[in-house]
Amino acid sequence: MKSLFAVFFASLLGVPVSGSFAQEAPSNEPIFVWPDLAPGETERTTGTQLPMRAADKPPIIRVEKIRRPPMSVYPATKNANGSAVLILPGGGFGKVVPNLEGSEAAHWLCELGVTCFVLNYRTRLPNNAQEPGWKRPLQDAQRAMRWIRENAEQWNLDRNQIGLLAFSAGGQVGAILITDEKAAYQSIDKVDEQSFRPDFAMLVYPWNMYDKNTDKLMPAIQVNENTPPSFIIHTHDDGSTSLGSVLLYADMKRKKVPAELHVYETGGHGYGTRARPNSNIGSWTDRATDWLARRLPR
């Protein structure tokens, strides 16, 4: 029987508490990528889980007020190949959804031999509306990528096979992460000697990258020749608009960055790896699996 601690821990991190718990649970307690306070923070709270919504079936976990970001590790479950993926869930920057866009995606990738790291990055401060929502999550994502590389031997990983999977608001952060070559915070220790650039990236319905006033990508996204190979998913009927993904792909094409874009007609937003009625969006992981087959070690 599972201990009460294990059940609570699984619920907090977004792991479905069911018969498949042993397969989907993280390998140990959360990792804190910052040794103490994160940049600009005065608190160390790891977040508060919001009440479940009856309409969400299966349930969706939402965590807010994250000031010290925890990261959970999901080891490869089949034929570990030395690759890893950092997963950035969505949540509109006010919260993070670590199961729908975290542990559930990790389960898919772990079956492909990939070790996954799900990051509950910091959420927006309610009294700091002038700061871009992506600023602190970007710091956390850069630090997490560096932490994974610095600790690669612990997980039998190849430092040159560390990728990114990012959803919604996390996808906006991911688009900045793969295109901005400047560190978003001051180095603090040996971890920061590592590169924060992913070796490959998957962006799933990246949120609000399109600036309708300029008909361009948001200024923080600047594709360059060092942008890693990328796989992008969106839907035509997504309110956050697929135009951002189309423009991102176009810039990658211009810069000769290997890229693949899929825009499904229906599916909306916020589906994670789940199927949606009257849509074939649930098949996007099959397309991504094909794309990954050309990049993951065999």
Render 151-172 in DSSP notation, one character per residue: TGGGGT--TT-EEEEEEHHHHH
* Band (9; pLDDT cuts 50, 70, 90): very low
**C-alpha 10 chain-centroid distance:** 18
Strand-pairing partners, residue 217, are: 210
Is residue 11's pLDDT more than 50?
A: no
- H-state helical runs in the chain: 4-13, 21-24, 104-110, 135-150, 168-179, 243-254, 284-293
- Chain centre to alpha carbon of residue 30: 16
Residue 166 lies in a domain: yes
How far apart are alpha carbons 199 and 227 in whole angstroms?
9
Task: Read off the pLDDT band of 15 (50, 70, 90).
Answer: very low
Q: What is the pLDDT of residue 164?
A: 98
Query: What is the pLDDT at residue 242?
Result: 97
Is residue 288 assigned to a domain?
Answer: yes
Instruction: Determine how many CB atoms are found less than 10 A away from the CB of residue 137.
Output: 31
Q: What is the pLDDT of residue 22?
A: 34
Q: Does residue 3 belong to any structural domain of this protein?
A: no
User: Pick from 96, 36, 102: which is nearest to 66 by CA?
Assistant: 96
pLDDT at 24 over 80: no
Whole-prediction pTM value? Answer: 0.92
With cut-offs at 50, 70 and 90, classify the pLDDT of residue 127: confident
CA distance 26 to 33: 16
176: which 2 tokens? 């900045």
- The domain in which residue 115 lies consists of 32-293
- Residue 12 domain-assigned? no
pLDDT at residue 23 is higher than 50 = no
What's the rounded Cα separation, in Å, for the pair 83 and 295?
10
Q: Are 215 and 246 in contact (CB under 8 A)?
A: no
Give the pLDDT mean for 221-244. Answer: 97
118 located within any domain: yes
Cα–Cα distance, 160 to 139 (Å, whole number) = 21
- pLDDT, average across residues 233-244: 97
Q: Tell me, rounded to whole angstroms, the distance of Cα 282 from its chain centroid.
A: 18
Number of domains in the chain: 1
Determine, yes or no, domain membership for 22. Answer: no
Rounded mean pLDDT, 143-151 = 98
- Count of Cβ atoms closer than 10 Å to residue 107 Cβ: 18
Given a cut of 90, whether residue 3 has pLDDT beyond it is no
**pLDDT for the residue 29:** 86
- Confirm whether 77 is domain-assigned: yes
Q: Is there a contact between 272 and 242 (Cβ–Cβ < 8 Å)? A: no
* Residue 270 belongs to some domain of the structure: yes
Q: What is the CATH number of the domain that holds 217?
A: 3.40.50.1820
Contact 81, 298 (CB under 8 A): yes
- What's the pLDDT tens digit per position in 174-206? 999 999 999 999 999 999 999 999 999 999 999
Mean pLDDT of 81-106: 97
